[in-house]
Amino acid sequence: MKVLLLLFFVLFQCEASDFQLKSIEIDGVVREYALKFPQDYQKGEKIPLLIALHGGGSTWRKFNKGTTKNTLEQQCNERGFLYILPTGKDHHWNDGRKNKLENPYDDIGFISQLIDYSIAHHSADPNRIYIAGMSNGGFMAIRLAQDLSQKITAIAVVAAQMSHDIKNRVQKNPVSVILINGTSDPIVPYQGGEMKLFKFSKSKGQLLSTNQTMSYFLKSNQCQHDYNQQIINNRKFDKTSIEIRQYNNCQNNSKVHRYKVNKGGHLWPGGKQYLPIKLIGRLTREFQASKVILDFFQN
């Protein structure tokens, strides 16, 4: 038993040692984040920054390992991205949904200062700042694109859409967006409407549909109407298929892409089926979201 405990401790330490645990103070409140430099990082070199936001009730560790199955971490390491995972207070983000009983903290201020601090102290390139998030983290990414468009180059939104509460807010500068949502997500309805964790749960807010969310960013980024279309359906027993729509002719070289996961659920594609299908829907393995997202950011 002692040997097993020792082995667990060593393995945990090895995993944890890859990340540096940091904190900054925002209006008297200590905010925490984990940071990992790419393996080939040269000190002083300016590198792209990816800030990844966990879902509601989760943690940065659960998101990194249990949601993405370490795929986002691996992609950042291979491509030379600085990888930062902040922690939401009470395990949630203040994403702008007014009737959502979440924390009252200034998460916009937190992420804004985290970006500034990363540029000043972690060698982040101010022209390559990216945000990715799932569920509550995805809602937060949308709000950040609105409020911090002068600082953010692009966002990736997985299993999340725009809420009615922020649909009239103005995004001042173009921000490239990739939306990845499942049509059978039981928590975030693809066609919009009321968000609930379970059938008889309290409402978590009214949402726009995925297409309405895409339309918001097409208008904000002043995209032309022409687009590329592609369908992926290569895995015979996967039971999902992917419809990709790409708007690449937008202001300041910004882009808006949508990945429609037919029969997909509330998950990170290519990640982990972290709860039963009956509760959160089906995981697709037709593509790996982490690879697609990093491809999108690099392009």
Query: Domain locations in the chain?
Result: 20-298
The string of pLDDT tens digits covering residues 69-110 is 999 999 999 999 999 999 999 999 999 888 654 557 899 999
Report the predicted TM-score, pTM, of the whole model to 2 decimal places: 0.91
3: pLDDT confidence band, cut at 50, 70 and 90?
A: very low
The string of pLDDT tens digits covering residues 193-226 is 988 776 667 778 899 999 999 999 999 999 999 9
CA atoms within 13 A on the CB side of 171: 29
The string of pLDDT tens digits covering residues 25-56 is 988 899 999 999 999 999 889 999 999 999 99
Continuous H helices in the chain: 2-17, 60-61, 71-79, 107-121, 136-147, 210-220, 277-280, 289-298
Q: Is 136 helix (H, G, I), strand (E, B) or coil?
A: helix
Listed in sequence order, the residues at least 6 apart from 9 whose beta carbon sits closer than 8 Å to its beta carbon are none
Identity at 96, one-letter amino acid code: G
Q: Is 26 helix (H, G, I), strand (E, B) or coil?
A: strand
- pLDDT, residue 200, reads 66
- pLDDT, residue 5, reads 36
Continuous H helices in 98-248: 107-121, 136-147, 210-220
- pLDDT, residue 169, reads 94
Listed in sequence order, the residues at least 6 apart from 289 whose beta carbon sits closer than 8 Å to its beta carbon are 68, 71, 156, 158, 180, 259, 268, 269, 270, 271
- pLDDT, residue 15, reads 45
Per the CB < 8 A criterion, the answer to whether 121 and 145 are in contact is no
Q: Say if residue 58's pLDDT is above 80.
A: yes
Architecture of domain 20-298 in this structure? 3-Layer(aba) Sandwich (3.40)
- pLDDT, residue 196, reads 79
Q: Say if residue 233's pLDDT is above 60.
A: yes
Instruction: Tell me the mean pLDDT in the region 165-177.
Output: 96
d(CA 165, CA 270): 31
- pLDDT, residue 72, reads 98
Task: Tokens 């419809």: give the residue.
Answer: 243
- pLDDT, residue 205, reads 85
7: pLDDT confidence band, cut at 50, 70 and 90?
A: very low
- pLDDT, residue 118, reads 97
- pLDDT, residue 99, reads 61
- pLDDT, residue 44, reads 86
Task: Tokens 């980024």: give the residue.
Answer: 221
- pLDDT, residue 18, reads 86
Instruction: Tell me the mean pLDDT in the region 131-144.
Output: 98
CA atoms within 13 A on the CB side of 187: 23
Mean pLDDT, the chain, integer: 91
- pLDDT, residue 6, reads 37
